[in-house]
Amino acid sequence: PKSFFLIAGPCVVESEDLVMEVANDVYAICKKLGIPYVFKASYRKANRTSASSFTGIGDEAAMQLVKKVGDHFGLPTTSDIHAHEEAAQAAKYIDILQIPAFLCRQTDLLVAAAETGKIVNVKKGQFVSGDAMKFAVDKIRKAGNDKVMLTERGTTFGYQDLIVDYRNISIMSAHNVPVVMDCTHSLQQPNQTTGVTGGNPQLIGTIAKAAIATGAHGLFIETHPDPSCAKSDGANMLQLSSLEELLVQLVKIRKAVVE
Amino acid sequence: PKSFFLIAGPCVVESEDLVMEVANDVYAICKKLGIPYVFKASYRKANRTSASSFTGIGDEAAMQLVKKVGDHFGLPTTSDIHAHEEAAQAAKYIDILQIPAFLCRQTDLLVAAAETGKIVNVKKGQFVSGDAMKFAVDKIRKAGNDKVMLTERGTTFGYQDLIVDYRNISIMSAHNVPVVMDCTHSLQQPNQTTGVTGGNPQLIGTIAKAAIATGAHGLFIETHPDPSCAKSDGANMLQLSSLEELLVQLVKIRKAVVE
Amino acid sequence: PKSFFLIAGPCVVESEDLVMEVANDVYAICKKLGIPYVFKASYRKANRTSASSFTGIGDEAAMQLVKKVGDHFGLPTTSDIHAHEEAAQAAKYIDILQIPAFLCRQTDLLVAAAETGKIVNVKKGQFVSGDAMKFAVDKIRKAGNDKVMLTERGTTFGYQDLIVDYRNISIMSAHNVPVVMDCTHSLQQPNQTTGVTGGNPQLIGTIAKAAIATGAHGLFIETHPDPSCAKSDGANMLQLSSLEELLVQLVKIRKAVVE
Amino acid sequence: PKSFFLIAGPCVVESEDLVMEVANDVYAICKKLGIPYVFKASYRKANRTSASSFTGIGDEAAMQLVKKVGDHFGLPTTSDIHAHEEAAQAAKYIDILQIPAFLCRQTDLLVAAAETGKIVNVKKGQFVSGDAMKFAVDKIRKAGNDKVMLTERGTTFGYQDLIVDYRNISIMSAHNVPVVMDCTHSLQQPNQTTGVTGGNPQLIGTIAKAAIATGAHGLFIETHPDPSCAKSDGANMLQLSSLEELLVQLVKIRKAVVE
């Protein structure tokens, strides 16, 4: 395909106003630039570092808002699921079930996601090689679902840093699946003593450009009108007002790569 | 306490004969050496690399066998749980609920384990610092349970290797919990192209001796009468017949450390 | 500048025929594509893993051949130096003195290179952050030479692998120096039990495209008419006949980035 | 041998008073505890992060002081050399030539050290596996010198940390050489933005105990009467007044291991 696709939205469903605002802006930009757009927001954050962090407004309520966004704008949607028993319910509202990186080895979860018949997007564990992600793909295919995607989101490099290994774009593509670069979580700086994961949002463009140049099929970018107020992952979300300029550059690089 | 404690048994409940044989032998050795013994066997392996790997004989049946071993020998028992809804059931049969390393950030699971009132042993994620494990401890304590232990099991070092960082023994002890060294899984060589995790069982003694010398409160050692026939993790299990000699050495080192 | 520059040639000066053949072909390609070209060949390999590896045809003879290539084609040249007392001699023949990655912290070597007045290109150590390379730049500037470049060549990731961290392109550019991506050595797989460093030459394009997309000023690519016969680093050298196609793609990506 | 040996002294020769004071104290402690003692002080620091760091009082003067200490107390001495042309001179004053970790792959340096006929102690590079250190050993043996030792000093783990891999004690011992644990530099936290390498001196005991428990033949500990005033590596040097208590513990662990 000519363009890459974009998975974007706020980290977590904070409120109807927020998801509508973000979706509306990103929808307009993507339409203008010819980029297929998937709306993303998590209905719950299940693995926050600290017990006192915000985890969501309630699963059902949040899922309904995600669906409302999808219906309103005519967009496919995605959200992550965290336990096998969530899969069937989430599948009622959401088009692409995302498997969190920490959970990419949990067979029950992968199989339950696969059995919904929805597209399953598995994030590469920080401790897993691109090559070994073929076992995650196999688990889903063996459960009768061939609609699998893989997402690169960085690899453990010391306790407080992640590195993105772009070799994984080629290596995971060789499993015959679309490969997405998560430009947000790749920049996390985990294991901070504060219990709040740090980041480097000024490098989002670096992560995204290298991904498009090396053939990533999609990008994942969390974005928020005001990242400093976001209730989760504020340290790495892209300011919504900066998204268009970045995408314009990426579209040019994509053209240079595929033409 | 004068001695360290030992968590040992086969990786997974393969059969009643196997668990009884292993427990019987380890029980006798520990009694002779004055080592408090906790019997360990998983009732299910939920995160095998490959979908075709053996995962268990059935949860309920396996848990009953674990309990039978505990009752027969008068031993506390442990097994890992993989989802929050397993916690209550497992707590009926098992004394120490172990949280797998990949899942150490899953708040629901930690809270559910905590709420059983059982001892909770959280394995340090391969991607987590010893310092950041305080957040796992906090999640359990906030759920009203102060009976927490932490287990070191190595940290991601390249895609196909783990390194044990012995600084974590001191660092995790500073969270005011007993610290266990998992001498088995620390030696894993993950992400092998075969889908079967490799190992280095000849180095089990190295891992264990360093742990005792640096003040670990307990050791975790999977052992099997014939590791080459084991249905899971054979690559790193200690031959049951080699256990006594190793423990004799470790008891001496422990004495040198605490006296 | 519109184009990136290219540092290319065979790993080591094997013979006059070889250096002339490679320079001739690369010169023609770069002229056609408008890429400034720097001819590279080492006069000696001083840090081969194994004592029995080929190290060169003699320093003086090899340097003369490098100069001959430069004079013949009107090209600047580069080669690495390994000890401070080599700097002055090498400077008679060579335009850009390259400091090997293992030696990027050796103050005497950096100062001696700086004092020749030549351009100094310091390769980032596999154990050094992009940020900490500012200290290498400072050592050269304090010795009175402001003509410094830095080269990214991957970072230790487990014993037998390197990862390229593209954040370093931005981070090292912030030291106000041109930044080069070494597409050859970044793909090394060190510490092989055979004593011969391994590689992944099919990923050279991946490394190069990501570098251009993220703003690298130059590329370093070792190339050889027949890498399987090369006397050093054959595992990662690009087949000379594949160079043009790759550069054509890279020129397109560069245009997309700078326009 | 019953005891491990100890290589100890201040990081760098700061003054005659300092080296005499340290040697005198360590000599007395080792004599009391039956530990063979090798006096260590560098005559120059050649790879300081920052150009403005202290590097020494002059090579010749410093070497003479090292020799004076050796002669006065009847001790073997050691210091590191940084370039092949230093080897012969250093060999006039010093008994064990130490090869810095960054330089462990420099063939010329290893061969020059070997050719002095002195004992050569090669520190494992932060980027080298214990297994691959056999190539360094081979280079020295092929140069006709079989008196080789290897020193573990930690491995790159993220940009700002090192981990000690205790598997390397066994793995390097299998090259048939004595293996030393460098308890000082293993705790370095490199690539700090200040240009001054950080540390964790409170963990020196952890590093040392694990080394003795796993069979290290020797320990390397830099010590200073007042580390906060030391002109190099103050962040990790052991307070001289704490050395005896640590060694008493280590002697006990050693006994437990070898008896």
pLDDT score, position B196? 82
The rounded Cα C108 to chain-centroid distance in angstroms is 21
Listed in sequence order, the residues at least 6 apart from A22 whose beta carbon sits closer than 8 Å to its beta carbon are A8, A9, A10, A41, A223, A224, A225, A240
Task: Give the per-residue SS3 of D39-92.
Answer: EECECCCCCCCCCCCCCCCCHHHHHHHHHHHHHHHCCCEEEECCCHHHHHHHHH
Those residues of chain C that have pLDDT short of 70 are none
pLDDT score, position B200? 85
Choose the CATH number for A5-258 among 3.40.630.40, 1.10.10.10, 3.30.1440.10, 3.20.20.70: 3.20.20.70
Q: How do residues B66-117 score in pLDDT, each as one tens digit?
A: 999 999 999 999 999 999 999 999 999 999 999 999 999 999 999 999 999 9
Chains near D (3 or more Cβ pairs under 8 Å): A, B, C
Least confident of A46-55, A187-196, B161-170: A46-55
Residue ranges with strand state E in chain D? 5-9, 37-40, 77-80, 96-99, 119-123, 148-152, 155-156, 162-163, 179-182, 218-224, 238-239
CA–CA distance, A85 with A82 (Å, rounded to integer): 9
Please report which residue ranges of C48-132 form alpha helices under DSSP H: 59-73, 87-93, 107-115
How many helices (H) and strands (E) chain A has is answered by 8, 11
- Residue A210 to residue C170, Cβ atoms within 8 A: no
pLDDT score, position D235? 81
Give me the sign of the Cα torsion angle D20, D23, D29, D34. Answer: negative
Q: A203, A187 in Cβ contact below 8 A?
A: yes
Give me the sign of the Cα torsion angle D148, D154, D157, D161. Answer: negative
pLDDT score, position B45? 83
pLDDT score, position D143? 97
Length of chain C: 259
Whether A1 shows a pLDDT value over 80: the answer reads: no
Segments making up each domain of chain B, as ranges: 5-258
CA–CA distance, D67 with D82 (Å, rounded to integer): 18
Taking contacts as CB-CB distances below 8 angstroms, the residues of chain A near B85 are 83, 85
Selecting from C207, C212, C214 the residue whose C-beta is nearest the C-beta of A206 gives C214
Mutant choice from C161, C200, C206, C250 vs A, greatest count of A C-beta within 10 A = C206
| C55 CB within 8 Å of a chain D CB | yes
| A156 CB within 8 Å of a chain B CB | yes
Whether B53 shows a pLDDT value over 80: the answer reads: no
Over range B208-225, report the average pLDDT.
97
Judged on CB neighbours under 10 Å (0-12, 13-18, 19+), B107 is buried
CA–CA distance, A53 with B12 (Å, rounded to integer): 35
Taking contacts as CB-CB distances below 8 angstroms, the residues of chain A near B48 are 105, 107
Q: A120, A177 in Cβ contact below 8 A?
A: no
Q: How do residues A9-34 score in pLDDT, each as one tens digit?
A: 999 999 999 999 999 999 999 999 99
Selecting from C46, C155, C195 the residue whose C-beta is nearest the C-beta of D108 gives C46
- Residue B129 to residue A84, Cβ atoms within 8 A: no
- Percent of chain A exceeding pLDDT 90 equals 84
pLDDT score, position B13? 93
Q: Select from B217, B233, B226 the least CA-distant residue to B5.
A: B217
Give me the sign of the Cα torsion angle A166, A172, A176, A178. Answer: negative
Chains near C (3 or more Cβ pairs under 8 Å): A, B, D
Per DSSP, the residues of A190-217 read ---TTSS-B--GGGHHHHHHHHHHTT-S
Q: How do residues A91-101 score in pLDDT, each as one tens digit?
A: 999 999 999 99
Length of chain A: 259
Taking contacts as CB-CB distances below 8 angstroms, the residues of chain C near B161 are 158-159
pLDDT score, position D221? 97
Q: Select from D54, D60, D69 the least CA-distant residue to D16.
A: D69
- Residue D160 to residue A157, Cβ atoms within 8 A: no
- Other C-beta atoms closer than 10 Å to the C-beta of B116 total 19
Whether B203 shows a pLDDT value over 80: the answer reads: yes
Whether B158 shows a pLDDT value over 90: the answer reads: yes
pLDDT score, position C250? 98
pLDDT score, position D186? 96
Q: Is B40 helix (H, G, I), strand (E, B) or coil?
A: strand
- Residue C167 to residue A257, Cβ atoms within 8 A: no
CA–CA distance, A21 with A9 (Å, rounded to integer): 10
pLDDT score, position C54? 78
ipTM above 0.90 for this complex: yes
pLDDT score, position A219? 98
* Position D6, amino acid: L
Whether B132 shows a pLDDT value over 90: the answer reads: yes
Q: D132, D174 in Cβ contact below 8 A?
A: no
- Residue A46 to residue B107, Cβ atoms within 8 A: yes
Residue ranges with strand state E in chain A? 5-9, 37-40, 77-80, 96-99, 119-123, 148-152, 155-156, 162-163, 179-182, 218-224, 238-239
pLDDT score, position B201? 84
Q: Which residue of C has its CA nearest to A156?
A: C157
- Residue A213 to residue C253, Cβ atoms within 8 A: yes
Q: How do residues D101-137 score in pLDDT, each as one tens digit?
A: 999 999 999 999 999 999 999 999 999 999 999 999 9
The alpha-carbon radius of gyration of chain B (Å, integer) is 17
The chain-wide mean pLDDT, for chain B, equals 94
- Residue B132 to residue A85, Cβ atoms within 8 A: no
Mean pLDDT, 10 residues at a time, chain D of 259 residues: 94 94 98 98 83 83 96 98 95 98 95 98 98 97 98 97 97 98 95 84 95 98 89 84 97 96
Q: Nearest C-alpha of chain C: how many angstroms from D126?
A: 7
